[in-house]
Every structure is written in C-alpha cells, then in structure tokens.
Amino acid sequence: MQFKKYFLKNDYPEINADHMKIYLIQSGPRVLPTMSEKSSEHALKGLQNLGVDVILDSRVIGYDGENCKIKRRATEEVLKAGVIIWTAGAKGNTINGIGDQVLAADNRIKVNAFNQVDGFENVFAIGDIAAIIFR
C-alpha cells in the first residue's frame, strides 16, 4: 500500500493508482497462522486499514496471464490481475499456467534481479518462493 500511496504517484505518474487493488489470499482461516491469535487479528486489522483485501480460506489455483483463479471453499472465483506477486511458505507450490521450466529446487520459481518470473514480463515472485537466477 505504501507503494501505491507514495511511489506510484512520484515514480510512475502514468499509472493510475485508483485502478490498483491489492489482495492477500491466505489458504488458512487467519493470517500469520504460526503466531498467536491476537497477533494474527492485529495483523489482519492492520492490512485491512491499509486497504488490502484479505481473502481467507482460499488458494490460488491458476493464472492465465490476465486472470487469477482462486478456490474459495467449494467455489472457484476469478480475479482480474495484470500483475501478481506470489509469496508462499518454505517449499513452493506449483502454479497452473506458469510451467515447470521456471522451477528450481524445492519448487522455487526462477526470477531475475527484479523478481520477474523467468520468461514472464509482468509476473513477479518474492519471498521463500523465489530463487534469484543471475545470468
């Protein structure tokens, strides 16, 4: 949200920040599940106060370059997404539509120095899921 509020306006004035929506999709019933429930609730409120749409009990099941498909309980939904930043736990889950050719050890996704997924211009991976490959 800080990026949207401060950096976009100054560094990318051609991008309308009002058209940007930020989602956090969490597969479990709460954010930060390894921490106390109180910490989890505090983090959730903080994210929501920043304007992040938090979607719990859901997971990403595919991305076709334009639409992010998520499974929420027994239903599937599609979120229009021009840019996806994927973060995950210590071992990466594969993502339909990305392809095995971008995977490194432990299902980490190969990215460049700018966290762009290998072979994709507008797809980024950050965190435990990313394996930076320098060429």
pLDDT in tens, 7-21: 667 777 777 777 778
Mean pLDDT of 55-69: 86
- Between 28-32, 43-47, 84-88, 89-93, the lowest mean confidence (pLDDT) is in 89-93
- Between 49-53, 121-125, 126-130, the lowest mean confidence (pLDDT) is in 126-130
Which tops the pLDDT comparison, 122 or 133?
122
Q: How high is the pLDDT of residue 135?
A: 46
> For all residues of the chain together, what is the average pLDDT?
80
pLDDT in tens, 28-50: 899 988 788 999 999 999 999 88
pTM over cut 0.85: no
Q: How high is the pLDDT of residue 46?
A: 92
Q: Supply the DSSP string of the chain, one letter for each residue.
A: -HIIIIIHHHH-TTS-GGG---EEE-SSSSSSTTS-HHHHHHHHHHHHHTT-EEE-SEEEEEE-SSEEEEEETTEEEEEE-S-EEE--SSSPPP-TTT-GGGB-GGGPEEE-TT-BBTT-SSEEE-GGGEEE---
